[in-house]
């Protein structure tokens, strides 16, 4: 096996690595990210350091632009292999890439997204390896970064000996016994040993203080309440993909805990890409998969979400109630309360419909 890291040293964007399985000649790309920041345009226009047509597989860890942004260029320059990722990652990546091409004035490249041959992990997402070639397979592990994000464990055999290289992808902070981020379940830890590790290290040299979910929401409530008392408005800048959905969720939890929080205050969400991402979150966050024991389990949803609303994840009525509540949080549609769930306090954002001279928003006031 040969490994060629392709992202420039000292930059934290443009993630891309090339693996060559020498026994079969299979060429595997892990991520194909765009560069951001100073000099990004020049780097993104630089030819690939390999022949795109020679790539058999592209493994996509998640949908952030610095991991998927050069996929249209890869396809337009001859890549005809298969893309392997979770269903949620590709749905979000299409949103990110369409938005990027539109902003760049490159809508002529949209055909590349329809050309892509995308394969999704099946119902045994985290337990059944995917065969890439003879004696070469890959398994996915939830990384708790954003919806759909995984790391890859690539295993090959030579002379009967198992070898393994692990690609972490971007890692979230949620661990089995420490779920401080909202929404997502803990990141998974591979059970077998790895011979090599390719680790994302944007914050690798920094010790970051732990901030619990309660502390985070308390700080958010103080910021929002103090801003409103001064006459507002309160502006909360955030990334459209996943971080905005976390923010909407935290606002809903705060309102559930205190019905007076933001009472009568309208919420404007001014992002076209974020609205689509919310729709995908409403659809996919509660998806289930089959565990190694054959039981149905939530793929992405963390048990802390049940705890936030005082629900029992083993109670089918509570599971259905939470699914409905989350769909309401992200789709903006009202839901009907049920007796097993107690009082449901639903907050509905409204969205800016257009930009330019005819800006309109569906008026809605939380009450």
**Residue 358 confidence (pLDDT) above 60:** no
Given 138, 170, 198, which residue is the final one in a domain? 198
**Residue 281 confidence (pLDDT) above 80:** yes
Task: Provide the CATH number for the domain around residue 77.
Answer: 3.60.15.10
20 in any annotated domain: yes
Calpha distance 174→183 (Å, rounded)? 10
The reply to whether 168 and 236 lie within a common domain is no
52 within 8 A of 77, measured Cβ to Cβ: yes
β-sheet bridge partners, residue 156: 136, 163
The reply to whether 333 and 294 lie within a common domain is yes
Prediction pTM value: 0.88
For 66-72, what is the mean pLDDT?
Answer: 96
**Residue 334 confidence (pLDDT) above 70:** no
The predicted structure's pLDDT at residue 332: 60
Q: Which two tokens stand for residue 74?
A: 């890869």
203 in any annotated domain: no
The predicted structure's pLDDT at residue 12: 76
Predicted confidence (pLDDT) per residue in 210-219, tens digit: 889 999 999 9
Arithmetic mean of pLDDT over the chain: 85
β-sheet bridge partners, residue 85: 120
Q: Which two tokens stand for residue 80?
A: 């005809």
The reply to whether 97 and 8 lie within a common domain is yes
The reply to whether 76 and 165 lie within a common domain is yes
356 in any annotated domain: no
358 in any annotated domain: no
Between 60 and 233, name the one with better pLDDT: 60
Structural domains in the chain (count): 2
**Residue 359 confidence (pLDDT) above 80:** no
| Domain hosting residue 251, numbered range | 213-351
Find, among 9, 66, 72, the residue nearest to 40 by Cα. 66
The reply to whether 14 and 78 lie within a common domain is yes
Find, among 203, 226, 220, 212, the residue nearest to 181 by Cα. 212
Q: Which two tokens stand for residue 120?
A: 């999704």
Between 122 and 13, name the one with better pLDDT: 13
Task: Tell me the CA distances in angstroms from 366 to 140, 220, 252, 332, one per residue in order.
Answer: 41, 18, 11, 12
Averaging pLDDT over each range in 113-127, 240-254, 279-293, which range is the top one?
240-254
Predicted confidence (pLDDT) per residue in 167-202, tens digit: 999 998 899 888 899 999 999 988 888 999 998 877
Q: CA torsion 304→187→93→127, rounded to 10°?
A: -110
359 in any annotated domain: no
**Residue 367 confidence (pLDDT) above 60:** no
Q: Which residue has the tokens 């203080």?
A: 209
Q: Would you say the C-alpha torsion 319, 323, 324, 325 has a positive or negative sign?
A: positive
The predicted structure's pLDDT at residue 209: 83
Given 145, 168, 198, which residue is the final one in a domain? 198
The reply to whether 119 and 167 lie within a common domain is yes
Predicted confidence (pLDDT) per residue in 73-100, tens digit: 999 999 999 999 999 999 999 999 999 9
The reply to whether 181 and 228 lie within a common domain is no
Q: Would you say the C-alpha torsion 191, 196, 198, 201 has a positive or negative sign?
A: positive
């Amino acid at each position: 096996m040969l490994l060629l890291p392709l992202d420039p040293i000292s930059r934290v964007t443009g993630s891309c690595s090339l693996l060559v399985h020498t026994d079969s000649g299979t060429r595997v790309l892990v991520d194909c990210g765009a560069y951001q920041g100073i000099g990004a345009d020049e780097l993104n226009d630089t030819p690939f350091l390999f022949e795109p047509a020679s790539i058999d597989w592209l493994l996509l860890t998640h949908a952030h632009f610095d991991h998927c942004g050069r996929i249209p260029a890869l396809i337009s320059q001859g890549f005809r292999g298969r893309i392997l990722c979770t269903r949620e990652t590709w749905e979000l990546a299409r949103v990110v890439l369409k938005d990027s091409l539109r902003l760049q004035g490159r809508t002529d490249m949209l055909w590349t997204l329809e050309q892509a041959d995308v394969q999704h992990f099946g119902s045994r997402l985290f337990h059944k390896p995917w065969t890439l070639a003879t004696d070469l397979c890959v398994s996915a592990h939830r990384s708790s970064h954003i919806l759909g994000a995984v790391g890859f464990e690539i295993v090959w055999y030579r002379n009967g000996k198992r070898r393994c290289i692990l690609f972490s992808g971007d890692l979230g902070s949620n661990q089995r016994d420490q779920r401080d981020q909202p929404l997502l379940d803990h990141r998974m830890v591979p059970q077998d040993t790895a011979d090599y590790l390719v680790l994302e290290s944007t914050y690798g040299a920094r010790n970051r203080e732990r901030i619990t979910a309660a502390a985070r929401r308390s700080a958010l409530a103080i910021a929002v309440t103090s801003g409103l008392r001064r006459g507002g408005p309160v502006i909360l800048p955030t990334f459209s993909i996943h971080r905005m959905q976390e923010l909407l969720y935290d606002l809903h939890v705060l309102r559930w805990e205190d019905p007076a929080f933001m009472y009568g205050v309208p919420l404007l969400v001014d992002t076209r890409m974020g609205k689509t991402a919310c729709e995908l979150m409403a659809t996919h966050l509660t998806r289930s998969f089959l565990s190694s024991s054959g039981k149905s389990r939530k793929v992405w949803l963390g048990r802390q979400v049940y705890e936030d609303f005082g629900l029992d994840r083993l109670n089918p009525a509570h599971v259905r109630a939470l699914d409905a509540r989350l769909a309401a949080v992200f789709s903006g549609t009202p839901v009907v309360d049920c007796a097993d769930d107690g009082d449901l306090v639903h907050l509905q954002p409204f969205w800016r419909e257009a930009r330019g001279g005819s800006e309109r928003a569906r008026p809605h006031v939380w009450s």
